[in-house]
């Protein structure tokens, strides 16, 4: 996806210039080796609150700051779980804390994730990934995150029996999801040393991952949403030949095409979720196309409805369709159901809504007839595009 790599670089460069403001809240810095473990009392995905004191039996305690959406964090999740499993018969405990303010995460920052970073989303994520450790939420106040000085996800702090910090930094030296890419298991080495009553050889390393999403940067999400809301919503007509071309998908993008109508209740119910999905995955080489089967005489009503949904195109989608020689991702189909089915999906029986995911090779890899479950659709998209970075 070379085209999108270039576009994404330009987009991130623009974001970087906006982000020239302070990187962290004033006075916040990472705990130094030898510091006492800050206390906490935080809600977990199990519906209970958890405190530092309840883990007092463990000789070694790892406090891991991680989150749902970050590809670096997701790539390391198998390592988190493996550490917990491998040290299950040792006097060791790992506790994970999500540091992010959910309101400070833009939709297009969730392109590697099914879920956002709210506590309710954490519950779903922990269930899906079968977490074998406590997973706590600090996004409301970020007071614990500030006390630790957690700057990234993941960022791990490992304490001895007296709860003095003995290691801080990365889990290991790989930025990728493949465990075979690891050359040095920094956190494991620290745990082994402490369990053996020895000093940690390298007590400080650089954490690598997504920056903590601090609440004071909510304004960036506001600006992002305002920019999207200012975009024009457009609608063109399409015949069977154009639909067939769109379905052939001669691009490097994963393409979602949704067939709908203004008079279809389930279509109207699912449309806001589909628009959010189009925004969420814009940086991954993805676009969302709507095809209305309203009659040509209802074009004005279709335009009005799309405007109320604000079915506009994100920036990277706008750029990509220009390269295709198109001007919109919203279409009103001129023709009958049979012609549309033959052009788009011969397996479609004509029920509304109907949604297909099409690979860059023009193959339908997923279809939903009827109202789509947004989480399930996101889950399939993420599975197709990947949850974390690859070294290839």
| pLDDT, mean over the chain | 94
Q: Is residue 11 pLDDT above 70, yes or no?
A: no
Total domain count, the chain: 2
β-pair type (41-43, 135-137): unpaired
Same domain, 181 and 287: no
184-193, 259-268, 314-323, 383-392: the lowest-pLDDT one: 383-392
Q: Is residue 372 pLDDT above 70, yes or no?
A: yes
Q: Is residue 155 pLDDT above 60, yes or no?
A: yes
The CA–CA distances, whole Å, from 333 to 89, 245, 299, 346, 348 equal: 63, 14, 10, 16, 16
How many residues does the structure list for the chain?
Answer: 392
The whole-angstrom separation of Cα 145 and Cα 130 is 24
pLDDT of the residue at 12: 44
Same domain, 339 and 380: yes
Examine the fold and report which residue of 220, 251, 281 is the final residue of a domain before the chain moves on.
220
pLDDT of the residue at 18: 41
Examine the fold and report which residue of 192, 220, 248 is the final residue of a domain before the chain moves on.
220
pLDDT of the residue at 22: 80
CATH number of the CATH domain containing 178:
3.40.30.10
The closest of 49, 127, 34, 139 to 95, measured between CA atoms, is 49
Same domain, 187 and 247: no
Same domain, 380 and 262: yes
Q: Is residue 390 part of a domain?
A: no
Q: Is residue 20 part of a domain?
A: no
pLDDT per residue as tens digits for the range 35-66: 999 999 999 999 999 999 999 999 999 999 99
pLDDT band at 21 (very low <50, low <70, confident <90, very high): low
pLDDT per residue as tens digits for the range 165-180: 999 999 999 999 999 9
Helix ranges (H only) for the chain are 2-18, 71-86, 119-129, 143-148, 186-195, 218-229, 240-248, 265-280, 299-309, 315-324, 337-344, 374-385
pLDDT of the residue at 20: 52
The whole-angstrom separation of Cα 116 and Cα 321 is 27
Exposure letters 83-96 (e unless 16+ CB within 10 A, then b): bbeebeeeebbbbb
The whole-angstrom separation of Cα 78 and Cα 75 is 7
Q: Is residue 119 part of a domain?
A: yes
pLDDT of the residue at 358: 98
Same domain, 190 and 293: no
Indicate the pTM of the whole model.
0.91
pLDDT per residue as tens digits for the range 256-267: 999 999 999 999
The closest of 385, 361, 381, 383 to 372, measured between CA atoms, is 381
Let me know: does 329 contact 321? Beta carbons within 8 Å.
yes
Same domain, 62 and 194: yes
Same domain, 83 and 206: yes
Same domain, 274 and 245: yes
pLDDT per residue as tens digits for the range 208-244: 999 999 999 999 999 999 999 999 999 999 999 999 9
Same domain, 204 and 236: no
Percent of the chain with pLDDT over 90: 93
DSSP class per residue in 108-169:
GG-TT-SS-SSHHHHHHHHHHHT--S-EEE-TTT-HHHHHHT--EESEEEEE-TT-BEEEEE
Let me know: does 370 contact 311? Beta carbons within 8 Å.
no
Q: Is residue 269 part of a domain?
A: yes
Cβ–Cβ contacts within 10 Å for residue 143, how many?
Answer: 12
Exposure letters 122-131 (e unless 16+ CB within 10 A, then b): bbbbbeebeb
β-pair type (60-65, 210-211): unpaired
| Mean pLDDT for the stretch of residues 273-285 | 97
pLDDT band at 13 (very low <50, low <70, confident <90, very high): very low
Same domain, 246 and 178: no
Q: Is residue 14 pLDDT above 60, yes or no?
A: no
For the purposes of burial, counting CB atoms within 10 Å of the CB of 347, is it exposed (0-12), middle (13-18) or buried (19 or more)? Answer: exposed
Domain of residue 87, residue span: 25-220
The closest of 87, 79, 24, 31 to 61, measured between CA atoms, is 87
Q: Is residue 9 part of a domain?
A: no
Q: Is residue 3 part of a domain?
A: no
Same domain, 82 and 139: yes
| Mean pLDDT for the stretch of residues 191-216 | 97
The closest of 194, 207, 257 to 67, measured between CA atoms, is 207
The alpha-carbon radius of gyration of the chain (Å, integer) is: 24
Q: Is residue 16 pLDDT above 80, yes or no?
A: no
The whole-angstrom separation of Cα 214 and Cα 104 is 7
Same domain, 318 and 244: yes
The whole-angstrom separation of Cα 127 and Cα 204 is 32
Q: Which token pair is 204?
A: 């400080």
Examine the fold and report which residue of 220, 242, 261 is the final residue of a domain before the chain moves on.
220
Q: Is residue 226 part of a domain?
A: no
Q: Is residue 12 part of a domain?
A: no
Q: Is residue 151 pLDDT above 60, yes or no?
A: yes
Let me know: does 380 contact 128? Beta carbons within 8 Å.
no
């Amino acid at each position: 996806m070379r085209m999108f790599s270039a576009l994404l670089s330009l987009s991130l460069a623009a974001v970087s210039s906006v982000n020239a403001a302070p990187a962290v809240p004033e006075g916040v810095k990472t705990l130094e080796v030898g510091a006492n473990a800050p206390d906490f009392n935080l809600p977990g995905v199990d519906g209970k609150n958890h405190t530092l004191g309840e883990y007092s039996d463990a000789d070694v305690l790892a406090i891991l700051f991680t989150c749902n959406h970050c590809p670096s964090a997701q790539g390391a999740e198998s390592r988190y779980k493996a550490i917990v499993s491998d040290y299950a018969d040792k006097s060791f405990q790992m506790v994970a804390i999500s540091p992010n303010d959910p309101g400070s995460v833009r939709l297009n920052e969730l392109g590697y994730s099914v879920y956002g970073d709210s506590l309710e989303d954490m519950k779903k994520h922990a269930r899906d990934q079968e977490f074998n450790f406590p997973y706590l939420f600090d996004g409301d106040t970020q007071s614990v995150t500030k006390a630790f000085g957690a700057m990234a996800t993941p960022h791990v702090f490992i304490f001895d029996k007296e709860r003095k910090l003995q290691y801080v930094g990365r889990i290991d030296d790989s930025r990728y999801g493949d465990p075979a890419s690891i050359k040095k298991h920094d956190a494991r080495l620290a745990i082994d040393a402490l369990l053996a009553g020895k000093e940690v050889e390298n007590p400080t390393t650089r954490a690598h991952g997504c920056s903590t999403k601090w609440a004071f940067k909510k304004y960036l999400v506001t600006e992002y949403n305002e920019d999207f809301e200012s975009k024009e919503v457009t609608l063109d007509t399409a015949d069977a030949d154009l639909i067939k071309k769109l379905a052939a998908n001669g691009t490097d993008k994963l393409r979602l095409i949704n067939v709908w109508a203004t008079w279809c209740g389930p279509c109207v119910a699912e449309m806001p979720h589909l628009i959010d999905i189009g925004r969420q995955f814009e940086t991954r080489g993805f676009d969302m196309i709507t095809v209305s089967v309203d009659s040509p005489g209802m074009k004005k009503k279709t335009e009005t409805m799309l405007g109320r949904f604000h079915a506009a195109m994100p920036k990277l989608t706008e750029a990509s369709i220009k390269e295709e020689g198109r001007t919109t991702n919203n279409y009103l189909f001129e023709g009958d159901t049979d012609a549309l089915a033959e052009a788009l999906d011969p397996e479609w029986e004509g029920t509304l809504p109907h949604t297909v995911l099409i690979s860059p090779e023009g193959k339908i890899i997923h279809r939903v007839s009827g109202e789509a479950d947004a989480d399930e659709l996101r889950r399939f998209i993420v599975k197709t595009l990947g949850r974390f970075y690859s070294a290839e």
